[in-house]
Structure 1
Amino acid sequence: MLLAVDIGNTKIKAAVFEVNALKEKFVFEKNEAEKKIKKIFHQYEKIEVSILSSVGEKEKEVISLLQKHTRVEVVNHTFLFPFINKYATPATLGIDRMVLATGAVLQYPDKNRLVLDAGTCITYDFIDRNNHYLGGAIAPGLQMRYDAMHNFTAKLPLLYPEEPINYIGNSTSGSMHSGAVNGFLHEIEGFIKDYSRDYEDLTVILTGGDAEFLAKRLKNTIFANSNFLLESLNNLYIYKTNND
């Protein structure tokens, strides 16, 4: 068994895999790491290896916890990836984005792929059918847009994502929901339209904490999978093991 762990900007996500089968997923706050990880190993005693990616803090503490129970693989820029990194500054490319690109290459071979990870920020990552990672975009995530309106104005309230009743907001909250949600959707659909125009046979994968909320509202044909990063970590480990 394998434990995949992703340390994000706000939370830690983990999943237990048996080969390609996801047995159980866990999401918890960073200050709960010790208690939750101990519980996972108590519940799944056959876990032999852990693979970890991180964009946040507490990496050393989590690695130390994992090392008490398993052999740990920490994903970094020297890892074996199934694509050629064409980013102009490859050393600055986020590990999470590289893991997502790995999943896209391994799960959707011989296609042009666009991965959308809608979390604290939304990232767009494009890998062409020749397995060249070309780059993408980074923009504020959905909740960050609400937070910005509240934090950088004098009177706008702090709201949370909610489906707008109408694209014409007839109140302050209604206008904010329309601007944040509809603006976000138009941005995503605009990017998909641009990529589809220039790259035929485009496969779009949507993941992240807001994937389910967005998938119901997007007009484009996409593959929505909130577990895609964890699955990609598992696939990366299998790929590395088979190609070492």
Structure 2
Amino acid sequence: MSHTTPDPSKRTARRTLDSRLRGVCLRRSEQRLESGSRAPTTAGRVARPAEEVRILSGDSTDIRLSVAGNPSQNNAGEHNLPGGEVFTAPVIDSVEGQALFDKPVHRDGRAVTDARLQFEDGEVTDYAVTKNESLLGEIIATDAGVRRLCEIGIGMTRDIDRFSYNMLFDEKIGDTVHMALGRAYEDAVDPDNKHNQSAVHVDMVVDMSENSFIVVDDETIQRDGRFVFDRVDNNA
């Protein structure tokens, strides 16, 4: 059996990129916290209470879900670093539709590419990938809870301008939405709603930069990666 020796230059480049991105995001998170505001204006508007969310991207992603009662959290650096996302949890059994996660999902040294998931009554009923289908199958077989979405989040950080394949950074990128299978965060679930339990929490990213919409309670709040109220404010 042949063995491939890892390229040390690639490891160094990866560490350099992670370090640069972490520095940029740490500075932005510190600025937000020092300003005395938990949220930039845009994030504050996005995090308002809502009933239903719909995510559309091209012909491949059309997801509807209820978030009724569940609080939206604006992570400006308090939850993890770097900050830069607004997230909440779907109501269990409410997720319907299909999604193409067009950014790789890295896990255990392997990458799932172009994962397509179909949801009915809140659960994954079918899936396909272009690479490493067995890995996605292993993830979905972990337990019953991992077949449900436990998080939906909107990336808010435009200081990150490229994918690093480090999910702590990648899920925060502006022009993206991320959804996660598995264990829900307690602060994103109302005490009166059921809390999805699982041994894992697996984030996956959808590129929202083209032919994409985020609709909240029948109101379009984002189009092609730009928030509608940002467009209005900039043209005022």
Coarse TM-score class (shorter-chain normalised): under 0.3
Structure-1-length-normalised TM-score: 0.26
Higher strand share: 2
Higher helix share: 1
Structure-2-length-normalised TM-score: 0.27
Larger Rg: 1
